[in-house]
Structure 1
Amino acid sequence: MRFTAIDFEKANNDSCSVCSIGISVFENGMVIYSDNFLVQPPGNEYLPLHTSIHGIAAEDTCTAPHFPEVWDLISEHIEGQIVVAHNGCTVEFPILESLFRYYEMEMPSYQGICTLQLSQQLFPYLNNHQLSTLAELLNLNFSEKLHHNSQYDAEVCGLIFLRMHQYFKLNSSFQPDHKIKKEAVKKDFFSETFASKKIDSSLIYPTEKPKYENHYFYSKKVVITGEFTAFPKQRNKLAQILFDCGADINTSISKNTDLVLVGTGAGPKKMEKISALSIAVMNEEELLGLIKDFINS
């Protein structure tokens, strides 16, 4: 399945005042493209409240392209595609329509899915259905510091949709085939289902320096995939060791990845991508040879 997750940030209350567009493209369960585009809103006028939310101000977009120019860069990922957005039915999708009307452009066709509405259907017992709440429920990393960065929010939205689709086995209309019982979707269940692969946000978006700066992993962009015998359902423990050794831990494979640590059960699609991008791989035996002194420290 291929789909595109989007997120917009606005400069003011005008629906056409988009100042940032985040986009993350998923295919076969992986992020294959992700980017953020600054957009100069009409008049480049900002309200202080909006700037306080996302940190973007008029000086940041005074030389940025207008929406039609940005559309040329992202249209292939939206037109004719499945497009996912959190609160998309009341925010992103109506904003898209407003932008196309304002610039007198032809409105593209796409299949829009609102993860807010879908999550309300699947998890009616939650107190709220914010991105952070759903990320916690589904054992996804969520950084409050990066919240309202449109690229980050788009990627989190995409991951939430992906996990809902994987667990509930949504039909072709992206709806559950059967009524969901509350007891079937308790938070503890998702913890057992997804927690073994979760890596703490503090390791992915660190604020501290690594302990060792002369290690092999120092400054290398590293992705972990598969299961490791020495770390049964303990990916976060492995990630902590790698971080201490200076690794820049990533959760998705891209052309910028330096090394992929491959355990058992790594998905074939992921291995195909690694091969296509000619990324170096390391198995568990090689890995343990490099970190054996740190496992019990």
Structure 2
Amino acid sequence: MSGSLFSRTYRFVALDVETANGDSGSICQLGLAMVDHDGVIQTASFMIDPEVRFAPFNTQLHGIGPDTVAGQPRFGDVIEPLRDFLTRHVLVQHSQFDQKAIGAACRRYDLPNLSTRWLNSVQVARKAWPQLRGNGGHGLGNLQKVLRLNFKHHDAAEDSKAAAQVILLAEAELGFNFIE
């Protein structure tokens, strides 16, 4: 994990998680989208053994189950090597679920929470496209259609990339920099 991808500094990093069940701390996948200063997006995905049971609803939603994460690292084994990288960037999330899930998983494993600035791409999308309120909304599913985003919904790396694209498109739409 100490590869050049995580030793660099990016304009921002979008983060998304998938969970095994209704407990937000049951993270089974972590996705990252690193946005370079020229707008190029690179993604990374980590499967995580949440060490809890999977709810059928969650498995059906994202396709991750016990067999998918068998032998994969636990949350702390993934987040700790990434901690310095993540805390030196603005982290973009689509809604506030991801920040809450990271916090819950940190508490569950008795780890310090990530100390960084979070930016919610839903709030940014509401500023850029207010006409979507009551007209499909600002969720990734609707934004995928309206903004013609190409991604596989409910895959953490793909959803993080979509959140990053929402920020870049909103900045282009409004002529405003949400990061700096």
Corresponding residue for residue 290 of structure 1: none
Corresponding residue for residue 5 of structure 1: 14
After TM superposition, list the pairs within 5 Å mapping 1:46-65 onto structure 2: 46-65=54-73
| Alpha-carbon distance in 1 for matches of 2:84, 2:105 | 17
| Alpha-carbon distance in 2 for matches of 1:72, 1:22 | 15
Corresponding residue for residue 4 of structure 2: none
For the Cα contact (< 8 Å) 1:80–1:108, is it kept in 2?
no
Q: TM-score, with normalisation over the residues of structure 2?
A: 0.84
Structure-2 change in CA distance of 1:40 and 1:56 (3 Å): same
Corresponding residue for residue 93 of structure 2: 85
SS of residue in 1 equivalent to 2:115: coil
Corresponding residue for residue 166 of structure 1: 172
After TM superposition, list the pairs within 5 Å mapping 1:71-110 onto structure 2: 71-87=79-95, 89=96, 91-110=97-116
SS of residue in 2 equivalent to 1:46: coil
| Alpha-carbon distance in 2 for matches of 1:109, 1:21 | 17
Corresponding residue for residue 125 of structure 2: 119
For the Cα contact (< 8 Å) 1:16–1:42, is it kept in 2?
no
Corresponding residue for residue 31 of structure 2: 22
- Map Cα deviations across residues 245-278 of structure 1 (whole Å, 9 max, x no partner): xxxxxxxxxxxxxxxxxxxxxxxxxxxxxxxxxx
For the Cα contact (< 8 Å) 1:135–1:160, is it kept in 2?
no
> How many Å apart are 1:172 and its aligned residue?
5.9
Corresponding residue for residue 5 of structure 2: none
After TM superposition, list the pairs within 5 Å mapping 1:229-268 onto structure 2: none
Corresponding residue for residue 70 of structure 1: 78
> How many Å apart are 1:167 and its aligned residue?
2.8
SS of residue in 1 equivalent to 2:16: strand
After TM superposition, list the pairs within 5 Å mapping 1:79-228 onto structure 2: 79-87=87-95, 89=96, 91-126=97-132, 127=135, 128-140=137-149, 142-143=150-151, 146-171=152-177
SS of residue in 1 equivalent to 2:144: helix
Which structure has the larger Rg over C-alpha atoms? 1
For the Cα contact (< 8 Å) 1:79–1:110, is it kept in 2?
yes
SS of residue in 2 equivalent to 1:20: strand
- Map Cα deviations across residues 181-207 of structure 1 (whole Å, 9 max, x no partner): xxxxxxxxxxxxxxxxxxxxxxxxxxx
Alignment length (residue pairs): 167
For the Cα contact (< 8 Å) 1:25–1:77, is it kept in 2?
no
> How many Å apart are 1:60 and its aligned residue?
1.3
Structure-2 change in CA distance of 1:125 and 1:107 (3 Å): same
Flag structure 1 segments of 5+ consecutive residues without an equivalent. 175-297
Give runs of ≥4 in structure 1 deviating > 6 Å.
none
Which amino acid is 1:125 matched to?
Answer: Q
Range with greater deviation from structure 2 (115-124 or 131-140): 131-140
For the Cα contact (< 8 Å) 2:103–2:114, is it kept in 1?
no
State the identity %: 25
For the Cα contact (< 8 Å) 2:33–2:160, is it kept in 1?
yes
> How many Å apart are 1:171 and its aligned residue?
4.7
Which amino acid is 1:134 matched to?
Answer: L
